[in-house]
Amino acid sequence: MTGERLRPGRGEKSPRESERGWGPASVEKRWRVALSRVGRLPGERPTALCFPLMSSTPEPGTIAWQDLTVDNAEQLRDFYAAVVGWTATPVHMGGYSDFTMNADGEPVAGVCHARGGNADLPAQWLLYVTVDDLEHSIRECLRLGGHVVAPARGMGGGRFCVIQDPAGAVCALYQPPDAA
């Protein structure tokens, strides 16, 4: 390979990010937009979603986001701030806050409370893998001996679920709004 870089360096935007206008600014605004599209009933508390930057057009098979859902998000926010140097941006969820964790001003992960729609998620780092067709991926998971840990639900116009593979590992499957 000649000196060509395959991924943008820290602080640089990929061509896809530039097209969408993603970057470190306005994280809170993107959260509000994402939460406004969740498709909840009037008066229902927002679902604690910790992936504000999940693109509407990530490539299938790629990891679109990662988050950690725990009983005490403040404690883990402070833990990761001290251990790895992340800073936190609060994401107001109606009565409590979840957190977008940032490295050098760039959002890198979420730390969420195990409340609302996240109450059934395991307390572990959860990777969100992009798929073209969530229902097809769920059928294949079940056919091949996996389990659905948290059923499919809406998020920011897209949909996701949490699965467990036959070996016991857990991940989320995410179908963007503009997929198949």
**β partners of residue 157:** none
Decide if 10 is inside a domain.
Answer: no
**Which residues, including other chains, have CB under 8 Å from residue 28's CB and lie 6 or more apart?**
89, 91
Decide if 2 is inside a domain.
Answer: no
Decide if 114 is inside a domain.
Answer: yes
pTM above 0.85, yes or no: no
Per-residue pLDDT band for 4 (boundaries 50, 70, 90) equals: very low
Question: Residue with structure tokens 């998000």?
Answer: 73
| Total residue count of the chain as it appears in this document | 180
**How does pLDDT run across 67-124, given as a tens digit for each residue?**
999 999 999 999 999 999 999 999 998 899 999 999 999 999 999 999 988 888 889 9
Q: Which domain holds residue 76?
A: 25-54+62-175
For the record, the structure tokens of 53 come out as 């930057």
Tell me whether residue 99 is exposed, middle or buried, using C-beta atoms within 10 angstroms of its C-beta: 0 to 12, 13 to 18, 19 or more. Answer: buried
Decide if 5 is inside a domain.
Answer: no
Number of domains the chain is built from: 1
Decide if 1 is inside a domain.
Answer: no
Decide if 11 is inside a domain.
Answer: no
Alpha-carbon distance of 53 to 23, in angstroms, equals 9
CATH number, domain with residue 114 = 3.10.180.10
* Long-range pairs, 34-40, Cβ under 8 A, ≥24: 34/155, 34/156, 35/156, 37/154, 37/155, 37/156, 37/157, 38/154, 38/155, 38/156, 39/154
**Which residues, including other chains, have CB under 8 Å from residue 62's CB and lie 6 or more apart?**
129, 130
Decide if 8 is inside a domain.
Answer: no
Decide if 116 is inside a domain.
Answer: yes
Residue 118 · residue 112 · CB < 8 Å: yes
120 or 175, which is more confident? 175
Which range is least confidently modeled, 42-51, 65-74, 133-142? Answer: 42-51
